[in-house]
Amino acid sequence: MKNNLFIKILLSIFLIYSLLGFFLIPYIAKDQIIKNLDNLLIYKSKLEKISFNPYTLNLKLYGFSLSNNNEKLIGFKSFEVDFSLFKSIHEHHISFKKVDLIKPYVNIVQNENGNINLASIMKPQEEKTEEKSTNEKSSIPLFEITKIQILDGDFLFTQIFNSKKTTTKIHNFNYTFYNLGTLKNSLASHSLNTIINKDTKLFIEGGLRLIPFKMYGKIELKNLHANEYLGYSKDLLNFTIDNPTLNLKLGYKLDTTKDIELYIDKANLELKDLNIVKDKETLAGLKSLELKDLNFDYTKQKISIENIDLNKLFANISSNKNNILNIDNLINTEPSIEKKEKTTNKPWLVDLNSFTINNSYFSYDDLKNKTTVDAKNINVLLKKLSIVNNNITIDESTVGTKNIKINNNSDNTKIEAKNIEINLHKFLKDKDKIKLSSVDIPDSYTSIVLGKNENGKEKAVKEEINTNNEKSNTYLDIGPINIKNGQLLFEDRTLKAPFKTNITKLNGNLSELNSKSSKPTQLKLIGKIDEYGYTKITGIVNLDDIKILTDVNLIFKNIAMKSFTPYSDEFVGRDIKQGKLNLNLHYNITESNLKAQNSVIIDKIELGKLIDKNKGSNLPLELGIALLEDSDGIIDIDLPISGNLDDPQFSIAPIIWKVFRNLIIKSVASPFSLLASILGVNPEEMKKVEFVYGESNLIDSEKESLNNIAKVFAKRPSLALKVEPAYDNIKDKIALQDIRLEELISKKSESIKDGDKYLLALESIYNGGISLQELKEKSMVKQNDKVILDKTSYISKIKALMLPKIDITKEELENLANSRISSIKKYLLEQHKITDNRLFIIPEIKVLDNKKAKYVEFPLAIDIKKK
């Protein structure tokens, strides 16, 4: 009986326990949960059912949701907790077999005011203060959950901005933990995979420990579309992006045992097809960005990166007429308030093994100044970059572009460079110091084109003069800059006919550039000009300010002058047929004062046709060249100039042209002064040839002038002598009359045998109006108390009456002038081999009337010989 009673009691307890556990407890629990939630929350909660197994201590909740006006905010399909009672008792800690959350759902909405819907789901509660003993310490109980699963979750986050919604949806959310707990040396594993929006995938796996908190593992993010998240920052960003994709993969470790220790291991990031768009204009972008093997150590404050690659990076920048850039205000920033930041004693260290920019493009359009810049196929390579605080070191770097164009449309100046590659060695930035051990620029090509102004007139440009003499604190120390096999093309289209010259095989270097050293920079460049020309540039330069100290020597040798026709056309209206130019230019600048020596050697220059009569008539260039050109066809002149570079009116090129022009004018205006200086004689000894009145023979004293002319003609083979025939209308006529009378007397005297033949002949041919007896009476003189005939006076009186009766024609006087010319020509030909092509006779005969002159003067002039 007692046994039956005991069995009945046990059966009754079992039945009551089962009824309470399976039915009553779930019913009461469901009712209480709903009531408590409704008391706490402003939104309506719903729970479909609860099941509980009192024997396995397994609890399940089904169909929970929290809604607002039929909008579901929070919910799940089921939530299951499986408690391990016997394990808990045996191992003295709370133990669960599993915790499962199936299809959880959360819907978070942020309105235009920034309020989040779930932040205000609680009903207002009365504040209750609880006194706690200061000796009480909160502690987490020991527990262990063998397996936790969150399966097939959906999470929505929506932001409303300007009545537009931006939503991020996390779905197919699965997160699993194994052996999660607070036991000593407990180490859990976890694994998460989910899909974000359409096709972004997130994977996380690794291990973790709760006490002390440690977490490690790997994270992988695939196919993230950044444009899906711009809607969250519309009040911050003034641009949109197309549809770039981002991939990220990294290892991580977080340890809070002592301090916070955070490690990121071998992070790899890839960004593709980024385009930044503002006002329907693409401003910048790139084809891809790849970051490889980033390692981050928060404790040691160290970042190391194996490689960063930017492929097809581009930027299209412009500024309007108000100097406002199109990239201004891309981000709305509030005025910053300066805050004093505490600086850490330990600096961050960043090491980057390699940084590259490949096949990139840059353009800039300045609408105000009408200037454009286009650079294509830009490539940058940095090797072994290290950053410690503000100190930067780069072992090797290369910056290059296949093509860069700079156009100034206001004056049509164009600069183009091709195949530019700059190699920088051992770059160091240490606080205010920048150091480069050396710079190499190999195989570069540069083109400079000066174009015509649109309106054909030069525009006045006001230059703002900066009176701030403060110098930068930055200290530059740049090693030699080496130029190898460079090419420079210069074209001047401001002229009627464009001028073009090409410098190739340009090699040389600039020595160390040190802003703290008093030693100036040394310059040496050697190159080839056009086909056969040569150039060499050497000297020293203070690159901080060339006005302080510059001493440069420029040599240009064997330059074909035909290429300078555009300039000769512009300035003198003539083209240049042939010739070679050699220049040796020395410029010394000290404290803004310029002293320059310009040695110009022109070899066998030959001018061509007259292009512009107005310009060509202003300057007797051919005669100037002939005066300056020696027997070898060489013109060797020095053009010294000086001035102050701070004088706004001072300009080197116009001064050189003015000096050259004045030299030509002076040479032509005073050719004998120039020619006499060659021989070291008095120019007055070369300007004229004198003849005795009535005679055409060259007297010995005048041969000196012609000899000097001949000597200088040997040194100036292009010159010719210009002579103007002349006679004196009075003195030459009298001289010819006297010569004619003497000839008559001489002829008559031949027939007289005895007596004073000369006097008898004169008396016999006398035909004057006064009788000879009367002339004798007038010629009688008293001598020694005797009256005798003064034959000299008598003869003079006869001649005086006869000479006017002798007729000398104009033709005879002109023949006399021409005979004198013949004497000059004969002497120059026979004695000095000067032919007719170097002797110009002016056809018109000049009639002189110089009462004070003692001789007939033939003025000489210099001209160009006939070809």
Average pLDDT over residues 376-393: 86
Which residue is associated with the tokens 């020619």? Answer: 675
The model's pTM: 0.67
Domain extents for the chain? 84-118+142-234, 520-669, 670-731+812-864, 743-808
The residues pairing with 499 across neighbouring beta strands, listed in sequence order, are: 492
Residue 471's pLDDT band (cuts 50, 70, 90):
low
For residue 16, give both structure tokens.
């009551």
Provide φ and ψ at 471, rounded to 5°: -100, 150
Q: What is the pLDDT of residue 237?
A: 73
**Residue 788: helix, strand or coil by DSSP?**
strand
Distance CA 646, CA 592 (A): 6
Which residue is associated with the tokens 């605080």? Answer: 389
Asked if residue 458 has pLDDT above 50, the reply is no
Q: Which helix (H) or strand (E) holds 773?
A: helix 772-778
DSSP state of 231: G
Distance CA 747, CA 443 (A): 95
Crossing angle between the packed helical segments 652-669 and 621-628, to the nearest 10 degrees: 80
CB 209 within 8 A of CB 188: yes
Average pLDDT over residues 625-631: 74
Kind of pairing between the strands at 839-841 and 719-723 = parallel
Provide φ and ψ at 626, rounded to 5°: -60, -35
Sheet holding 839-841, edge to edge: 688-691, 856-864, 719-723, 839-841
pLDDT in tens, 142-186: 888 889 999 999 999 888 877 778 889 999 999 999 998 888 888
CB 366 within 8 A of CB 319: yes
Asked if residue 59 has pLDDT above 50, the reply is yes
**More confident of the two residues 346 and 380:** 380
Crossing angle between the packed helical segments 671-679 and 700-715, to the nearest 10 degrees: 90
Alpha-carbon dihedral angle through residues 761, 765, 768, 772, given to the nearest 10 degrees? 40
Distance CA 607, CA 571 (A): 13
Q: Over the chain, what is the mean pLDDT?
A: 81
Distance CA 514, CA 435 (A): 9
Q: What percent of the chain has pLDDT over 70?
A: 84
Best CA proximity match to 475, nearest among 440, 438, 521, 428: 428
How many Cα atoms occupy the beta-carbon half-sphere of 658 within 13 Å?
A: 8
Q: Which helix (H) or strand (E) holds 375?
A: strand 371-388
Q: What is the pLDDT of residue 473?
A: 64
Distance CA 174, CA 454 (A): 70
Residue 73's pLDDT band (cuts 50, 70, 90):
confident
Asked if residue 496 has pLDDT above 80, the reply is no
**More confident of the two residues 721 and 20:** 721
Asked if residue 292 has pLDDT above 90, the reply is yes
**More confident of the two residues 439 and 649:** 439
How many Cα atoms occupy the beta-carbon half-sphere of 271 within 13 Å?
A: 18
Q: What is the pLDDT of residue 466?
A: 43
DSSP assignment of 186-223 equals: --EEEEEEEEETTTEEEEEEEEEETTTTEEEEEEEEEE
Crossing angle between the packed helical segments 652-669 and 671-679, to the nearest 10 degrees: 90
Q: What is the pLDDT of residue 215?
A: 92
DSSP assignment of 734-748 equals: HHHHHHHHHHHHHHH
Distance CA 258, CA 299 (A): 11
Q: What is the pLDDT of residue 293?
A: 94
Q: What is the pLDDT of residue 463?
A: 40
**Residue 121: helix, strand or coil by DSSP?**
coil
Maximum pairwise Cα distance, the chain = 226
Q: Which helix (H) or strand (E) holds 484?
A: strand 481-492
pLDDT in tens, 591-604: 778 787 878 888 77
Fold of the CATH domain 670-731+812-864: 60s Ribosomal Protein L30; Chain: A; (3.30.1330)
